[in-house]
Amino acid sequence: MKVFKKIPTQKPKTPLLDRVNVPSEMRSFSINELESLANELREFLLYSVGKSGGHLAGGLGVIELTIVLHYLFDTPNDNLIWDVGHQAYPHKILTGRKDQIESIRKKNGLAPFPARSESEYDSFGVGHSSTSLSAILGMSEANQLLNPNKKHIAVIGDGAMTAGMAFEALSHMGHLKSNILVILNDNDMSISENIGGLSNYFSRIWASKIYKGIKKSGASFLKPLPQAYHLARKAETQMKALVAPGTMFEELGLNYIGPIDGHNIKELKDVISNLKDFEGPQFLHVITKKGAGLDPAEADRIGFHAIGKINAIKQEKSDQKKYQDIFSDWILDMAKKDNKLIGITPAMREGSGLVKFSKEFPDRYFDVAIAEQHSVTFAAGLAAEKMKPVVAIYSTFLQRGYDQLIHDVAIQNLDVTFALDRSGLVGEDGPTHSGNYDIAYLRCIPNMVICTPSDEDETRKLLTTAYEYDGPAAVRYPRGIGPNSKVEESLKSVPLGKSRLIFKGNSEIIMLNFGALLYKAKKVAENLKLTLIDMRFVKPLDEKMLKKYLSKASMFVSIEDACIKGGAGSLVQEFCSSERINIQSVLFGIPDQFIEHASRDEMLDAAGLTSEKIESKLKELLE
């Protein structure tokens, strides 16, 4: 493997890669040519992501594996799924999208993850982790009658095996005995001699056609003698357990092979080409290095998981804090005040702003891995014993723990605070990561409090308010920076369910703001002389304020960075109906569609949530 000291800024020469527009065009390559192709692909990936920004380290770790899989299997006729999708950039480059790769994550460009609508080579759309095994099992079963010769491969890794859903699928896979190849891309450990020597030797034996024949004939010979068959099978399992960590997968009904070196093309080719013809579910354990081939990325896998453009014009470093930094400061200060506070995150320590907390309060910090369901019920258990858990989780990921939120937290009215980062339109990661639905799916749950802060200072105050509430409460805030409001350092709260009047204007039209788009609402209210109220809370609503202003108005306008269907604006409509307030309404929010990846500002524009578009529509209605 060619190793690079830095990301190249000049487009590299890639004569072999230039010949590969689709995978079938490399299937005549020799082993030496495949190894050269890997070097070219790695250098081109470094160059292209350096220009576009995006996920880097995961893709660098699967260069060789990607090449071998497309070399050996008849893609796109065979199904190949990449779990999560962070690691799929090399796959995109080899499947006809090389010239578009610099557009990745940009408006009208390539999707950040595999997408069925983008290419026939993307067998299944992904974004959240740990979905690949369930999907590939469904595909395999669908083709038992339709196309029994079709191959089915799932590559899972990058932490995705920490989710319970993956093991649910493995258990079902072992029961059904489907012809599936599961590849565990294990990039969390280095390849050392004790792994690479003896275990690789046995891996080649277990994946060989000779061993397959012996195993098959031996099984048929011994099955009439149940005790002898059982002892032979037990001996085989124990022999594997001596040199490989695969006993658990064997017990689930999968044939475990590995671990093998995921950067050795010949090793990968020899083992996988044999596994192609095995019957039943096969589990291949491949050891890779995340960030392989770039020295800085190998040394800092977290830092190089995703990068910005390296050739962007350097700006002076801003002191402005992101919303996640506001949360980070708040949880530190609150933990110093209250020794019952417990911080929980499902594998999002850096993204959620819990790095400082984890270092200062290691005994009160829990990263439960990619296990959102567990994180919620774990918090419920803590709360049941009078602790004060704070679950820092992305809005889109809380969707995965919805039953636990209802069944384990809300029904028992347990005191759990949810800090919902990345609420609303999230930007370049697109619809799989946008937190559009939290207001709609939370407001229908009894006992819930839902806070929608409008700026950094309000975020800190409402976090305290939610924390002090004795029951389940959620505070939703967006990705990135806010309007740069001055933040009070105290741990001051606000009265539960109390809104605030921002601007008093035309009493005939009342504008109600829910959340971080207040700065846009202010421009519209000032230009059109409308009364503006920052509601702060979706639940409980400030009914006193609403009755005071809406009972005398002809129209209310609601603004929220969340879905219109079932959102905050529709909740106000329900309130007006129940109170028999006869009033017109105009709801601004995310329309009933998935808005594709772009910058956050571009996504807001597509949703009609710019000051200009809101004002234009209101003027049109008023005229």
Average pLDDT over residues 179-185: 94
Quick one: what percent of the chain has pLDDT higher than 70? 86
Name which residue leads in pLDDT, 297 or 148. 148
State pLDDT tens for residues 325-368: 999 999 999 999 999 999 999 989 999 999 999 999 999 999 99
How would CATH label the architecture of 500-622? 3-Layer(aba) Sandwich (3.40)
- Three-state DSSP class for residue 293: coil
Q: 345 forms bridges with which residues in the sheet?
A: 367
State pLDDT tens for residues 369-384: 888 999 999 999 999 9
> What was the pLDDT predicted at 538?
98
> What was the pLDDT predicted at 468?
98
Catalytic residue ranges: 290, 372, 400
Whether the pLDDT of residue 507 is over 50: the answer is: yes
Average pLDDT over residues 109-128: 90
> What was the pLDDT predicted at 299?
64
> What was the pLDDT predicted at 189?
41
> What was the pLDDT predicted at 194?
32
CA distance linking residue 561 with residue 515, whole number of Å: 7
Average pLDDT over residues 174-198: 68
Q: Number of C-alpha atoms within 13 angstroms, CB side, residue 554? A: 5
281, 254 Cβ separation under 8 angstroms: yes
Please report which confidence band the pLDDT of residue 216 belongs to, taking 50, 70 and 90 as the band edges. Answer: low
Note the pTM of the prediction, 2 decimals.
0.82
Please report which confidence band the pLDDT of residue 283 belongs to, taking 50, 70 and 90 as the band edges. Answer: very high
281, 252 Cβ separation under 8 angstroms: no
> What was the pLDDT predicted at 385?
95
Please report which confidence band the pLDDT of residue 313 belongs to, taking 50, 70 and 90 as the band edges. Answer: very low
Same fold, 323-476 and 500-622: yes
Report the CATH superfamily, name and number, of domain 15-307.
Thiamin diphosphate (ThDP)-binding fold, Pyr/PP domains (3.40.50.970)
The least confident of 187-191, 195-199, 236-240, 590-594 is: 195-199
Whether the pLDDT of residue 117 is over 60: the answer is: yes
Please report which confidence band the pLDDT of residue 494 belongs to, taking 50, 70 and 90 as the band edges. Answer: very high
Average pLDDT over residues 152-169: 88
Provide the phi-psi class of 96: left if phi over 0, else alpha when psi is between -120 and 50, else beta. left
**Nearest Cα residue to 486 out of 513, 524, 460:** 460
State pLDDT tens for residues 235-267: 554 445 544 556 788 888 899 998 899 999 999
Average pLDDT over residues 99-115: 89
| Domain locations in the chain as residue ranges | 15-307, 323-476, 500-622
Whether the pLDDT of residue 301 is over 60: the answer is: no
Look over the chain and give the mean of its residue pLDDT values, rounded to a whole number.
87
Residue at token pair 């124990």: 238
> What was the pLDDT predicted at 191?
32
* Packing angle of the helix pair 31-52, 265-275 (nearest 10 deg): 110
> What was the pLDDT predicted at 50?
83
> What was the pLDDT predicted at 160?
84
Provide the greatest CA pair distance for the chain: 90
Dihedral (CA of 105, 106, 108, 110) sign: negative
The phi, psi pair for 160, rounded to 5°, reads -65, -20
The hierarchical CATH code for the domain 323-476 is 3.40.50.970
Please report which confidence band the pLDDT of residue 9 belongs to, taking 50, 70 and 90 as the band edges. Answer: confident
> What was the pLDDT predicted at 203?
52
Please report which confidence band the pLDDT of residue 559 belongs to, taking 50, 70 and 90 as the band edges. Answer: very high
> What was the pLDDT predicted at 57?
77
> What was the pLDDT predicted at 195?
38
State pLDDT tens for residues 47-82: 888 887 877 778 888 999 999 999 999 999 999 999
> What was the pLDDT predicted at 567?
97
